[in-house]
Amino acid sequence: MNHDSYPDNYIRGILNTVKTIAMVGISPKENRPSFFAFKYLLERGYHMIPVNPGQAGKSILNQAVYAKLSDIPEPVDMVDIFRASEYVLPVVEEALTLRPTPQVIWMQLTIRNDEAARLAEAAGLKVVMDRCPKIEYGRLSSEISWMGVNSRTLSSRRAQNLGTGVQRMGLGATNKKGDH
Amino acid sequence: MPDAERTPGFATLSIHAGAKPDPTTGARVTPIYQTTSFVFDDVDHAAALFGLQTFGNIYTRIGNPTCAVLEERVAALEGGTAGLAVASGHAAQVIVMHALMTPGDELVASKKLYGGSINQFNHSYKNFGWNVVWADPDDLSSFEKAVSPKTKCIFIESIANPGGVITDIEAIAKIARKAGVPLIVDNTLATPYLCKPIEYGADIIVHSLTKFLGGHGNSIGGLIVDGGTFNWSRDKKYPMLSEPRPEYQGIILHETFGNFAFAIACRVLGLRDLGPALSPFNAFLVITGIETLPLRMQRHCDNTLVVAEWLSKRPEVAWVSYPGLPGDKYHKLAKKYSPKGAGAVFTFGLKGGYDAGVKLVSNVKLFSHLANIGDTRSLIIHPASTTHRQLSDAQKVQAGAGPDVVRLSVGLEDPDDIIADLELGLKAK
């Protein structure tokens, strides 16, 4: 898998398939990028689980915080990692011990660990690195276009409202392959 | 639906980038959202919008869905990460500088620029304490010498107004990179059809939409494109991007928005507080103009070459400055940076001097005598008797507006008609 660039249907397929996302390294501070991404995805219908040992037992945006991935009592579809590249490998190793195993390992902007990626892919997981799911969702739903951002998409199909809330768009794909 | 891996061509992007049929009505063409404000779901939604936690529209001074299509369109055409539409090209420059400069800072600028930019840098910027240091694009070492520890950016025009000067973008980009500052390129006269400065190392692009992008002389507008190439957090030079912002509960814009942080900073700090917003109606007209950008620019260039060649053979004409002509000083640079054509704006000198210039502009019937460039209509001006009249003769020459200089912006009329009109004007008694 080439991790220097991802086709849009790969990303869209992932964001249309996963329902439960565990965010490792989320900050409780409301001005941090991890908090922004958590809130955004929560509002778009994802079941978001915060993971942060320093905040275990508390809650962030009404979601109970767990100390580590293996403490989560329910299946996790995607592990979203907000930790520096050098701390990623242990997180991925722990993710691979979960049952059922998650389907996706996602590493945030500037985070890239090719060794951890290879490990996860060998176990059959999909991997995304150096991307933010909030920005990718924004790009593929066209929400980010409201900010003048180049979504690098092009379509003459109608954009899809999410169905809940004003100014919330959906991803508009009906299949797991991510085709539009 | 285009295959996810293929990058659409320029003509396709000119028509489609940034635009999707309206989700609610199915309207194909971008609606003109002639509204000042947008409703919130509830107070939490409002707070999330104001806090930049979610994407959306609040108030047309900060953002508008019609303007957003224009922003994405131009960003896509330039190969940038994001765009910001503003009221004019001048406003685009001020907003860019506002994000980069603090009082006492310096901007290194090419001296071969549109006169309006020269005035803005020389005069108005003094009120903000921003100091311009001029450099000569024909002498690259002058750029290196102009850089100081106070320099925050370098500013050039790709094709420069009025005399068809081509700037060596790549060479100056290297100087900017070495100095650790972004290179800003005003790409108005070229448009991304002729030249994409980001490909040569530019970090920020500014446009006057008023000119070739809008293309029809009907709307004043400006646009900033973020190249997404500059590391704002490398040092402490750009606190608007690298430091916690008190206006937004302490978020760090570069960290939060990554490679489109500069465009966001211009919007949520500059545009929000200084206010030069673009009218949604103007944005609509410019979007419509851009759909034919490749067709128009090619015809502009083809017509201009014919006109320049014709003028160069006229007995009344002393010299023609157009990089499309083989003998021209900038012809080699034009072949490198603008191979499809050398643009539509150039100057020539009349042997009869000042009086001949006045006579020419007074006697043409097809050319419009006005201060603009980049219209479907052919435009003419004699700067010495109009825009630059108040300068001394020496100052006029310095500015490329000597008494004998006439500037043309060649339009899309039939070239035979354009030439016939010039002949009429040249022969008038």
Q: Which residue has the higher pLDDT, A50 or B397?
A: A50
Best of A60, A150, A164, A175 to disrupt the B interface (most B CBs within 10 Å) is: A150
**Parallel, antiparallel, or unpaired for β B106-110 and B151-157?**
parallel
Q: Span B240-264, mean pLDDT?
A: 96
pLDDT tens readout for residues A63-103: 999 999 999 999 999 999 999 999 999 999 999 999 999 99
Distance to chain B for A127, nearest Cα, Å: 18
> Could you give the CA distance from residue B183 to residue B168 in angstroms, rounded to a whole number?
12
Which range, of B12-16, B72-76, B199-203, B246-250, averages the lowest pLDDT?
B246-250
**A&B contacts, CB < 8 Å:** 130
List helix spans (H) across B247-330: 253-257, 261-265, 272-274, 280-290, 293-312
Find the closest chain B residue to A8 by CA distance.
Answer: B4
What is the pTM for the complete model shown?
0.96
**DSSP letter string, A105-161:** EEE-TT---HHHHHHHHHTT-EEE-S--HHHHHHHHHSGGGGGTB-------SPPPB
- List, in sequence order, every residue forming a beta bridge with A83; answer none if it has no partner: none
Query: Per the omega criterion (within 30 degrees of 0), is the bond before B294 cis?
Result: no
**Parallel, antiparallel, or unpaired for β A78-81 and A104-107?**
parallel
Query: Per the omega criterion (within 30 degrees of 0), is the bond before A133 cis?
Result: no
What letter would DSSP give residue B271? Answer: I
Q: Is residue A73 part of a domain?
A: yes
Residue A175: pLDDT over 80: no
pLDDT bucket at A1, cuts 50 / 70 / 90: confident
Number of structural domains (chain A) is 1
Q: Span B120-146, mean pLDDT?
A: 97
pLDDT tens readout for residues B328-341: 999 999 999 999 99
Q: Could you list the residue range(s) of the whole structural domain that residue A53 is in? A: 8-147
**Parallel, antiparallel, or unpaired for β B222-226 and B204-208?**
antiparallel
Q: A164: left (phi > 0), else alpha (psi -120 to 50), else beta? A: beta
Q: B390: left (phi > 0), else alpha (psi -120 to 50), else beta? A: alpha
Distance to chain B for A105, nearest Cα, Å: 21
Q: Is residue A50 part of a domain?
A: yes
pLDDT at A180: 58
pLDDT tens readout for residues B372-395: 999 999 999 999 998 888 878 888
**DSSP letter string, B110-140:** ESSS-HHHHHHHHTGGGGGT-EEEEE-TT-H
pLDDT at B399: 77
Residues A179 and A17: beta-carbon distance below 8 Å: no
Fold (topology level) of B294-427: Aspartate Aminotransferase, domain 1 (3.90.1150)
Whether residue A31 and residue B244 make contact (CB cut-off 8 A), yes or no, is yes
Q: Is residue A156 part of a domain?
A: no
Residue B429: pLDDT over 90: no
Q: Give domain limits for chain B.
A: 10-290, 294-427
pLDDT at A177: 67
Q: Is residue A68 part of a domain?
A: yes
Phi, psi of A107 (to 5 degrees): -115, 135
pLDDT at B1: 39
Distance to chain B for A98, nearest Cα, Å: 30
Q: Which of A138, A146, A155 has the CB atom closest to B63's CB atom?
A: A146
Q: Is residue A166 part of a domain?
A: no
Collect all residues of chain A within an 8 Å Cβ-Cβ radius of residue B83. Answer: 148, 150
Alpha-carbon distance values, B373 to A132, B296, B380, B390, B408 (Å): 42, 14, 9, 21, 8
pLDDT at B3: 45
pLDDT tens readout for residues B17-47: 999 999 989 999 999 999 999 999 899 999 9
**DSSP letter string, B50-104:** HTTSS----BTTT--HHHHHHHHHHHHHHT-SEEEEES-HHHHHHHHHHHH--TT
Residues B152 and B130: beta-carbon distance below 8 Å: no
Residue B280: pLDDT over 70: yes
Q: Is residue A154 part of a domain?
A: no
> Could you give the CA distance from residue A107 to residue B73 in angstroms, rounded to a whole number?
29
pLDDT tens readout for residues B208-223: 999 999 999 999 999 9
CATH number of the domain to which A106 belongs:
3.40.50.720
Q: Which residue has the higher pLDDT, B1 or B168?
A: B168
Q: Is residue A168 part of a domain?
A: no
Alpha-carbon distance values, A41 to B35, B68, B125 (Å): 29, 23, 43
Collect all residues of chain A within an 8 Å Cβ-Cβ radius of residue B59. Answer: none
In the predicted model, what is the mean pLDDT of chain B?
Answer: 95
> Could you give the CA distance from residue B45 to residue B42 in angstroms, rounded to a whole number?
5
pLDDT bucket at A176, cuts 50 / 70 / 90: low
**Parallel, antiparallel, or unpaired for β A47-51 and A20-24?**
parallel
Which range, of A46-60, B37-51, B394-408, averages the lowest pLDDT?
B394-408
In the predicted model, what is the mean pLDDT of chain A?
Answer: 94
Residue B2: pLDDT over 50: no
Fold (topology level) of B10-290: Aspartate Aminotransferase; domain 2 (3.40.640)
In A, what residues contact B, Cβ < 8 A? 7-9, 30-33, 35-36, 39-40, 43, 109, 132, 135, 138, 142-152, 154-161, 165-167, 169, 179-180
> Could you give the CA distance from residue B72 to residue B30 in angstroms, rounded to a whole number?
13
Q: Is residue A160 part of a domain?
A: no
Residue A178: pLDDT over 70: no
- Rg, chain A, Cα only: 16
Closest CA to B227 of B205, B245, B249: B205
